[in-house]
Amino acid sequence: MVVPLLLGAIINTLFPQVLQIGGFTTALLKQGAMPLLGLFLLCNGAQIKIRQAGVSLGKGVALTAVKFLIGAVLGWLVGKFMGPSGLLGLSSLAIIGAVTNSNGGLYTALASQYGDPTDVGAVAVISINDGPFLTMAAMGATGLADIPFVTLVAVVVPIVIGMVLGNLDEEWKKFLEPGQKLLIPFFAFPLGAALDFRTIFKAGLPGVLLGLVTVVLTGLGGYFTIKYVFREKKGVGAAIGTTAGNAVATPAAVAAADPTLAPLVAGATAQIAASVIITAVLCPLLVSYLDKLERGNDVL
């Protein structure tokens, strides 16, 4: 997962034109993440037994709630006690926009590697934070948000199709099973090709700090949720410790609802963009470390 993602990011940063030559090259290496992820979700859905669907729903709700609460409380504390200027250059808008939002594609890839089908299936609920809705809810602007219900349905459909195929026909289940591993490097590269490392330098230290806060606080929050609430010893819960690329547009969306936040948009946008890059690189490392820690404890 990590190596193809980093390769995509490096090439997009240094030689972006290479990925824009058109044809099959651009379709696969630059624009291929979403269709390949859709196929991946279908293949994974085929491995979920009907009786496991409730477990996936429970995990999705729990992880989404943890992600939201950490971001909302942290942002409220900063706004309450530090004012509009925020803490160390980080406004409550930037904090809530980055921390409450997660990269569904990266979560799916990590869950497939370090979890089981019930962990991957949780993305159907987790995807609700992949956009501005939860940020607006946390900022007290829920009434002005366009609830992404259709987006949520669009995530669920491939999983449901896979579940139907896998539960009705055992041969379909076996046929689709290799897709869980085969597709990972192929959608990891275009996910990386959407990143640009130069963003980190534009955001400066506050952007780096925002990324670290997102990885550590929400990553560990998700990890402990899976470990103690669901009694499963694995690091996959930390896979929610990311910021999705579309979170970069969140400050502008929130400011459109509340114009008094307009002066904070430019800084918050750059900082959130830096968090996208940093979390995409560090979150897989955290999940891997925690997974090895849990397996090491089992051995001991």
- Do residues 102 and 250 lie in contact, with contact meaning Cβ atoms separated by under 8 Å? no
Give me 42's structure tokens.
């279908």
Range of lowest pLDDT (98-107, 220-229, 258-267): 258-267
Report the C-alpha gap between 213 and 108 in whole angstroms.
21
Query: Which of 116, 186, 191, 127 has the alpha carbon at shortest distance from 156?
Result: 127
pLDDT of residue 199 exceeding 60, the answer is yes
Predicted TM-score (pTM) of the model is: 0.72
Q: What is the mean pLDDT of residues 77-99?
A: 82
pLDDT band at 156; cut points 50, 70, 90? confident
Tens-digit pLDDT profile for residues 23-44: 999 999 998 888 887 888 788 7
Range of lowest pLDDT (36-40, 192-196, 232-236, 245-249): 245-249
Q: What is the mean pLDDT of residues 286-293?
A: 94
Q: What is the pLDDT of residue 58?
A: 92
Provide CB contacts within 8 A for 167, sequence distance 6+.
Answer: 49, 50, 173
